Amino acid sequence: MPPPVGMRTTIGLTAWTDYIPTADSTVAARLRKAGAIIIGKTNVPPRLRDLQTSNPIFGRTSNPWDVSRTPGGSSGGAAAAVAAGLAPLDIGSDAGGSVRVPAHLCGVYGFKPTQSSVPTTGSYADPPDMP
């Protein structure tokens, strides 16, 4: 989920453990304007760059159908949450299959829209104190 205001956003980095955005990303703002209620965020690997979903803050995400297996990455937390029925949908990032592969591994649908059709403004920009 691109950062919503007031919700801790770590992208799996210990340096971001206490980072709380002060403004919605464009996607979060548009969802709210359309009436969506953002109920939470899901786990991701550090900087969204891994084929599994584990990080030093929240640990490993398991596939809800077989907890000995990974849901994949980088949006494995999103796919696992939808597959487990925790939410009807989730927003993830997908440069090279990061939504579609975890969705496949968890038995749910993953969709990558045409490039630039969904704005990324405000998504995972470095907090002011990040080097």
Q: Kindly report the CA angle at 92 between 89 and 96, in degrees rounded to 5?
A: 130
pTM (2 d.p.): 0.89
What DSSP string describes 3-32?
PPTTS---TT-GGGTT---SS--HHHHHHH
74-101 per-position pLDDT tens digit: 999 999 999 999 999 999 888 889 999 9
Q: Which range marks the domain in which residue 36 is found?
A: 14-106
Q: pLDDT confidence of 129, banded at 50, 70, 90?
A: low
Tell me if 117 is assigned to some domain.
no
Whose tokens are 């077989």? That residue is 66
| pLDDT for residue 130 is more than 80 | no
Tell me if 81 is assigned to some domain.
yes
Between CA 66 and CA 1 the distance in angstroms is 24
| Region 25-44 average pLDDT | 94
| pLDDT for residue 5 is more than 60 | yes
Tell me if 82 is assigned to some domain.
yes
Instruction: Count up the domains in the chain and report the number.
Output: 1
Residue 3: what pLDDT? 81
